[in-house]
Structure formats: structure tokens, C-alpha cells
A and B are shown apart, each in its own frame.
Chain A
Amino acid sequence: MADRAQTPYTGIAVAAPVTVDYCRYSNRSAHWFLARVLRRLLDESGIAKDEVDGLCVSSFQLMPDTAVGLTQHLGVSPRWLDHIPMGGACGVVALRRAARAVQCGDAEVVACLAGDTNHVDTFRKMLGSFSQYAQDAVYPYGSGGPNANFAFLTDHYMRAYGARREDFGKLCVAQRENALANPNALFKTPLTLDDYLNARVITAPLRLFDCVMPCAGGEGFLVTTAERAEALGLPHARVLATIERHNAWPDDPIQMRGGWAMDADSLYANAGKGPDDIDFLCTYDDYPVINALQLENLGFCNEGEAPAFIREHDFTWNGDFPLNPSGGQLSVGQAGAAGGYLGLVEAVRQLTGTAHGHQVADARIGLVSGFGMINYDRGLCSAAAVLSGGNGA
């Protein structure tokens, strides 16, 4: 089925990439982190709070509040409001929603916020209530959360395509190297392939460094008109094309491809770019196997060929295929829903030349992809965006 061509995102600026207050555990609430993000967005952009007329929020721990309640906490009166509960896909989806709101004049300055806290028992408490299917059909089996699901995917992927643990390890080691150059990353100890291979088993075949670490923190960006951004002197990126898809390939017995495999062609067609034009890639990387699926589904290699692709490339920020130059969630930490913003915020940073210490040289076109919400046996949300630097590239 051929989709209608996407109306181009004209005159849209994505600016002020901010990352705040990452820490392993926090006594604060999600509201605190979201406030910190908004404050930083205003500080970075020079925009006054009452000029923010659109607000887009993602957070797991905000409950029982939603974006609605948050407006009163923050003292803002937006004319456009969205709450996006899509986990790892929320960054790209927030961008698409906000960009269209600005483009159509429903809002002029949209603050996109994601943030979560992490107490010592936050993650455990969330597991059994994550979804009805998680409660009914996964948590009672001893593994709440995504560990077992990604263990199933990894086990199957290794058997199906001959991937080795060393292949996944190479991605994790490269991302750790990237994180060492990123001041926001929580992981500051170098990781060797031996460390990776010999770490303790968590959920076989997954070991410690295959699993993302929950933490607290916040991420955000602004979406506004190019005119406004230029008037404010804000470095910004542009949106070339975006996709999202939910519950893709429902009849696949196990998730060996995501929604990107349905929509990548239209993404590239609408962007007027192809995989070869991409200067860096930010994937959703809570476990390395999902990086492999994104490399395949986004057209960098064919299905089942990610192991060979991994062996051939250098994924550090100054390598030949920069992947998650921030270090990704695996080495920055997963701050709840902010994990779904991490790649996008990093991409804007790279495209505006502000990724100090780990700036990809000549980063003109970036691809960000998101993946979210392990509802039962698979992640349901996938999304991606092609962005360019402010001059259009």
C-alpha cells in the first residue's frame, strides 16, 4: 500500500536541546525533572515562560497527573497540549506532533519535555502495572519489564542469523567510548569487550551490559518557526521527514522487525535522502539486539545482515558509522520516558554543532529512531525522523 506523500515540514525549527540532572536515584518526583527541563529550555533560548504556547509531555512517573495537571504545576497556559505515553518512541512522535502544530499555526513555541524520577523501588513497582498484558501474562512468570522479552529476541536472533555475543558487545563497547566524551552520561568507566563478555548473566543470553540501567533525568527541546528561531539567534535543526507505526507485523510469531520495515521507504522518499546520506544514527538502544533490527529495518543493511555490518564498521562518534554518539541509553542511562528523547536531543545537538567533546565531524543529516512499549511480547511503537542542520544541507 503506497502512502500519500507527506506534506513537507516547512519553516520548522527544532532548537535548544537540553539534558538535565541525570542521576541513578533521586528523591525528587517526575514533576521536578520536567520543571528543570522547561526552565533550561527558557534559559537556553531566551524565551519567556508565557511565550510558550504549546506543551508536549512524556513521563511514566508523572501519574496520577498527566500533561494537563502539569500545566498548573508549571504555571503555563498553553493553547496546545499533548501527552505522549509512547516510551521509547515519544521523542520522535512529540517532534512530529509539535512540528505540525507549529506549521499549522495551532501554536508558535512548543516546549517538548520528557523526564522521570527513579527511586530505589520505582522500577520494580512499575513492572507489574506496565500494561494489562504485562500484569496478566508476563509479570507472573518472574520477569517483569523488558529483560525477558529482549532475551527472547536476542536468543532467537542469534540462532536465526548467527550473531555472536561479540557482535552485540562491539556496539556496547563503542557506545561506552562515546559516553566517556559526553558530560551528561552516567557511565564513566571504560568498558572492554572482555568486561562485556564476562559480566554476570541477567536473563540468558543477556548479561549485565546488555541491559539498560534505569535512572532519573530529563530531556527537552523546543519546536518553533524558523523565523522565530532565527530572530532569537537560536541554532536549530530542520525536520525532513518522519514516520511512526504501532503494532506493526502483528502476525509475526516473534519480533524480528519493527514498524520501520513498513515505513522506511516512505521516510527516505519524503526526506529526499537515502541511508548513504545519513551522517550519524541515533537508535533506541535499551538492548543491543534492537540496534541490530534498526540497522536492518532502516536500510543500512539487509535483514539478518546486521552482524556482518557490525563487524565492518566503527560506531564511535569519530568512527565511520557514528551510532548513538551520546553513548545512548546503554551508557548514558535510561531516565524513564526521557530515554525516548535521548536520541532526538542528541541529534539536534549534533546538527547544531553543540555536541561538545563528541561532535561528529560534518554532521549534516541525522536519523533518529524510536522504539517503545513492550506491551506483551514485543515493542509496539516505532518511529523515526530524518533531520538536517539549519541550513538545510
Chain B
Amino acid sequence: MTEPLRRPKRKNPILRTRLPVVPPWTRSRVALGMTAAAARGSFELQRCSECGRIQYPPREMCSGCLSVDLSWSPVDRTGELISETELNHSHDLFFRERLPWRLGLVKLACGPTVVTHLHGDVPEPPCTVRVDARLDRAGRGVLIAFPDKEAPNMADDKQLREMTCDPKFRKVLITDGKSAVGQAMVRAVADAGASLIWVGHAEPWKQPPGFSELESIPEVTLVPLDLTDARAVREAGGSLGGRVDILINTAEAHRTHGVASRYGTDVARLEMDVNYFGLLRLAQEFGPAMQFRGADGQNSAVAWVNILSVFALSNFPPHGTYSASKAAAFSLTQCMRAEFKPNAIRVVNVFPGPVDDEWNQLIPPPKLAPERLAADVVAALKDGVEDVYPGAVAREWFSRYREDPKVLERELCE
């Protein structure tokens, strides 16, 4: 059974901080299909469209019938652990610093034999296991075998924790705690066991309902933070950047205009100033310090969460300028992903459909409850997922987007 994590002691300031290294990230192009699925929280292997064979490692052809018509499909996760080993030696720096490390050889019920990371609760072979895909610290998909039955504290497993961004005992900054989403986010990470929660707030004269109650949560500390104020972001980064393990950017400006409904650029400029330039300021002031702590022990800096919008994928004309600012932010997060990768900070993008708040008043239901959104973000951190589509609307938009972005664009014009 997994030993539960202990609340970490305060860091000894005279000890050197271990620098981040990540597992080998080079993959062939065809193998990246597994990573793409894992990033969305799905375990998919190649399936031959002609003969149905499921195969692994990924390749360009079906090794049964030689068809090249292959697709990535969710498969049965059950398998039998047929052999195991424990690495006590590795040529790779990441693993060398984390030895011993368990690996298994699993015969999947759906066909192939796979090399997997092995959760500590899996008993000796032979035994039944459940195989799943996770992103490793390099952001690449890897396989891990779990015991077939849930056990207590499984999330605290040493190897699994190197693939997830669990908020438990981690220090979290939520950039805006005033919005409904921000407040729900604070409560959700507190429930998930975060040890410290800094809650940013701008515009001190504004005291929305529920905000003052956040102060009664013992882990919460309020910090002034206005993403449009470069100096304020710099000061916050200077005092908190080296301590934040998970940054959740909930701050946003949201107005409901397209091109013609609002003459001039002031509203669009405000949206860009918070949603795009605000993110850029945050990334410049907090990014380097967080990256420095990408391997800082059990509670290393691990994740940067962006609450984007499903409108970032394809413009929703009634909220046209807002969509554009979120699309700009989305594009910037892809740059952040590339830059943060060598230092093990996962960039998690959340693409909610319309949230049930005042700016989406005129959008018909279903609308996403802020609590649902917050719960999905915490779940994504625990599962190590990178792209999150919370709620039915977001999932449907995403699936239509994957099917044909052009068709979706035309549908949204109606």
C-alpha cells in the first residue's frame, strides 16, 4: 500500500535547489499520437481499420495485414503483468536521480505486450493490472500500470506523482479570486489539500458576494494582483514566484461584442490587456522562477493552468473580441509549453464552454457551473492532463472542431 505523503517541512534555505531535468522526450512522429491522446486524458493505441489489430509500439503500417489505414482508438486497459524489474541504475539523469524505479512488462488483453512504468501498489507478477497513458515530466505520453483495484493513497505513489500535478501539499496562486470561477477554484484547491493558496485580487473597491468569505479558509492569503499593471505583476513575481508550485490564471476580461456592436478598440484593448498581455506579463515574471523549481523535491513547481475558452478554438461572433483575445492567449500558451518543457512545468489549458456568469447571461443553457469548472481543473491536475474541455458544450465544440474546423466556423456564423 502506498505510504501517504507527509506534509513537507519548510525548505532549508541554505541547501542548493535541485535543478530540473526531464525524461527523454524524442519521439518519432507516429509515436506522438499516444502523447496527443494522453494530453487529453485518453489512453489510445493504434488500431488497424482493415483487420482490427491493435499494436504497440506505434508504427506506420499494420504488422498483421500491412494496411496503412491506422487510427488511434481507446482500447481495453486490462492486462496481465508478466514480468517486472526495478531499475537501480540508469544512464538518464532524470531517472538516475529518482532510483529505484519500477518497470513492468504487461500483456494487454487487446493484444500487444507493453513496457510500462509500474505503480508501487501493483503486486508481484503474474497479476491483473490496468494500464493507462500519462504525460511524463517532458510532456510525452508514457504507459503506467496500476493495480486492478483502487487502494488508499494511490495518488501519492512516488512514480505516479512524477507524472501528475496533484495540488496536495502544494502552494497555489490563483490570479483572480473575485470572479465566480476564481472563488470556486480557491475552494476546490483547498479541498484538494493545497498547503498554501495565494488569492490575487484587483480593484479593491469591488467586493463581490462570497469573496470576503474566502479569507476564512485557513490556507488562503489575499494578495493584490492586477495583471494590467506591469509593476504590480513584477512585484508579485518577485515575492511569490520562487514559491508558487501551481499557478492558475483565472483573471480575465470578458465583454460581449463583435466588430460592429462596439465602435473603437477600447473594450478589445482591455480584453487583450488582461487575457493576452496579462498572461504574457505573468509568464515573464513568474515563469523563470517556477522553472527553476521544476524538480524541487516532493513539492516541486509543476503546473501553469490557463483558464481559456472554447471560443479560443473558433471565434464565437457574439463574443468576437473576447474570442480573439483568448485565441491570442492560447497561441501564447503553446509557446510557453515549448519554453517550459525542459524544466518540467506543465502548461495546462482549460477550454470551458460558456460559464454560468453575468457575461454569458444571454447565452442559452447548458452553461458551465463555476464549481464544475474548478472540479475539472483539479481532476486534470491530479490526472496530469494537459488539455481540459470541461462541460458538455466544450466537449461538443471540441469534437466538432476536430471533425472539421471549417464546418464549425460556418455553424457559428448562423
Contacts and interface: CB of A to CB of B under 8 A. Distances in A.
Given A139-B24, A142-B95, A152-B105, A203 B57 contact: no
4 A-B pairs with least C-beta separation = A142-B95, A151-B85, A136-B31, A137-B57
B58 interface: yes
A358 B114 CA distance: 43
A258 to B, nearest CB: 16
B125 A155 contact: yes
Interface string B49-71: 00000001111000100000000
Nearest to B106: A253
Nearest to B89: A202
Q: How large is the interface on B (under 10, 10 to 19, 20 to 34, 35 or more residues)?
A: 35 or more
Interface string B80-95: 0011111111111011
Nearest to B84: A155
A136 B101 contact: no
B216 interface: no
A140 B23 contact: yes
Nearest to B60: A132
Interface in B8-34: 23-28, 31
A135 B28 contact: yes
Q: How large is the interface on A (under 10, 10 to 19, 20 to 34, 35 or more residues)?
A: 35 or more
A164 interface: no
A240 B31 CA distance: 44
A143 B90 CA distance: 6
B131 to A, nearest CB: 13
26 contacts: A127-B91, A128-B24, A128-B26, A135-B24, A135-B26, A135-B27, A139-B24, A140-B25, A140-B140, A142-B92, A142-B103, A143-B87, A144-B92, A145-B91, A148-B115, A152-B103, A156-B83, A159-B83, A201-B86, A201-B88, A203-B85, A203-B88, A204-B85, A204-B100, A254-B113, A377-B113
Nearest to A125: B91
Given A140-B23, A144-B91, A155-B83, A377 B58 contact: no
Contacts of B140: 140
Nearest to A145: B91
A136 B125 contact: no
A168 interface: no
Q: Which of A133, A142, A147, A204: most chain B CB closer than 10 A? A: A142
Q: Is the interface of B mostly helix, strand, loop or mixed?
A: loop
A123 B91 contact: yes
Contacts of A147: 87, 89
B115 to A, nearest CB: 6
A73 interface: no
A204 B87 CA distance: 6
Given A141-B23, A144-B24, 9 more contacts: A133-B57, A138-B115, A140-B138, A141-B117, A142-B90, A142-B103, A145-B91, A152-B85, A201-B88
A203 B83 contact: no
A386 B84 CA distance: 36
A86 B91 CA distance: 24
A143 B100 CA distance: 12
B84 A136 contact: no
Contact of B101 (A142, A144, A200, A254): A142
Contacts of B119: none
B33 to A, nearest CB: 11
B236 to A, nearest CB: 36
A136 B27 contact: yes
